[in-house]
């Protein structure tokens, strides 16, 4: 299995992703075909479980979007299971300290550098055909993303970025703003200072900064701060917005129709 997402970051590309919350393979394929660079299968807040994660990764394989998975914790079992499925990277939520970041890295790496179990018969290894190549490249190709979602995490961002194996410091703006006592107030100077601090920590360590965009119009602003790994939109939210917009248009059109709902007699087909 050939992975290219980390290589694209190394080449200086700005990459855009989306959330997959519905746990549905068809929705995943639709999102992948829309043109996103990567898609995040969400096992923290999403509707599906591990089987649905595999289904979604298989659906994404036919698109141009790389598969990442957000697990609930740094526990080895959850990380290495979806890596065996073929995930190109793992997103670890609520990583607050250097030690927690170290545990995230260990969950993704084979011994002696980590604690990931070794198996050759899984999808990531071509069901046995590509095991040696995968084993030799996994540490350098897989993307380890730690989420910065608290003031403590911002304070420790530089130490986490300095760890070998941590690739992306990813700001979760909703959780971070909530923990700062300013839920959703992303324009506040204190919040902007925090996200700038995270981006600076990543840059100085030669790593990458990412975040969930508060608004898609914010791309240029966060790019100037140093963010190159951004996510915007989710399958569930986009479906909800599109459905509501369509219903609103239909209701507006209905409001302009004559009061009587029955057609005139001479318009009824014989």
Active-site residues: which are they?
Answer: 45
What value does the mean pLDDT of the chain take? 94
Q: Is residue 269 part of a domain?
A: no
φ, ψ for residue 169, nearest 5 deg: -95, 115
> Can you give the pLDDT at residue 268?
57
pLDDT band at 266 (very low <50, low <70, confident <90, very high): low
pLDDT band at 252 (very low <50, low <70, confident <90, very high): very high
pLDDT tens-digit readout, 11-22: 999 999 999 999
Residue 222's contacts (CB-CB under 8 Å, 6 or more residues apart) are 195, 211, 213, 230
- Find out whether 85 and 54 touch, Cβ atoms under 8 Å: yes
Q: Is residue 132 part of a domain?
A: yes
Q: Is residue 96 part of a domain?
A: yes
Adjacent-strand bridge partners of 143: 89
Q: Is residue 260 part of a domain?
A: no
Distances (CA, A) of 41 to 13, 14, 56, 235: 22, 20, 7, 10
> Measured in Å, how far apart are the chain's first and last C-alpha atoms?
63
Distance CA 28, CA 163 (A): 32
Adjacent-strand bridge partners of 16: 230
Distance CA 52, CA 31 (A): 15
Q: Is residue 34 part of a domain?
A: yes
pLDDT band at 206 (very low <50, low <70, confident <90, very high): very high
Q: Is residue 265 part of a domain?
A: no
Q: Is residue 84 part of a domain?
A: yes
What percentage of the chain reaches a pLDDT higher than 90?
90
Name the domain count of the chain: 1
Q: Is residue 229 part of a domain?
A: yes
Q: What is the CATH number of the domain that holds 243?
A: 3.20.20.60
Query: Which residue range forms the structural domain that includes residue 43?
Result: 5-249
> Can you give the pLDDT at residue 259?
84
> Can you give the pLDDT at residue 2?
74
Adjacent-strand bridge partners of 212: 231
């Amino acid at each position: 299995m050939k992975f290219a997402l980390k290589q694209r970051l190394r080449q200086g590309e700005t990459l855009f992703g989306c959330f997959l919350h519905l746990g549905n393979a068809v929705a995943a394929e639709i999102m992948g075909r829309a043109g996103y660079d990567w898609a995040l299968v969400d096992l923290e807040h999403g509707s599906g479980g591990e089987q649905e994660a595999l289904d979604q990764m298989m659906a994404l394989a036919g698109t141009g979007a790389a598969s990442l998975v957000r697990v609930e914790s740094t526990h080895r079992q959850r990380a290495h299971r979806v890596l065996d499925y073929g995930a190109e990277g793992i997103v670890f939520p609520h990583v607050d300290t250097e030690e927690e970041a170290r545990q995230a890295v260990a969950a993704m790496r084979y011994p002696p550098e980590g604690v990931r179990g070794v198996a050759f018969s899984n999808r990531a290894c071509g069901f046995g055909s590509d095991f040696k190549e995968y084993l030799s490249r996994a540490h350098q190709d897989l993307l380890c993303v730690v989420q910065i979602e608290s003031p403590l995490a911002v304070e420790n961002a530089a130490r986490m970025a300095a760890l070998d194996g941590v690739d992306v410091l990813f700001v979760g703006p909703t959780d971070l703003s909530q923990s700062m006592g300013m839920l959703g107030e992303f324009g506040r100077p204190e919040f902007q200072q925090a996200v700038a601090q995270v981006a600076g920590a990543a840059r100085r360590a030669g790593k990458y900064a990412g975040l969930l965009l508060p608004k898609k119009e914010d791309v240029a602003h966060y790019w100037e701060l140093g963010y190159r790994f951004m996510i915007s939109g989710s399958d569930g939210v986009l479906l909800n917005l599109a459905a509501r917009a369509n219903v609103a248009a239909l209701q507006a059109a209905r409001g302009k129709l004559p009061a009587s709902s029955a057609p005139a007699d001479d318009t009824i087909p014989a």
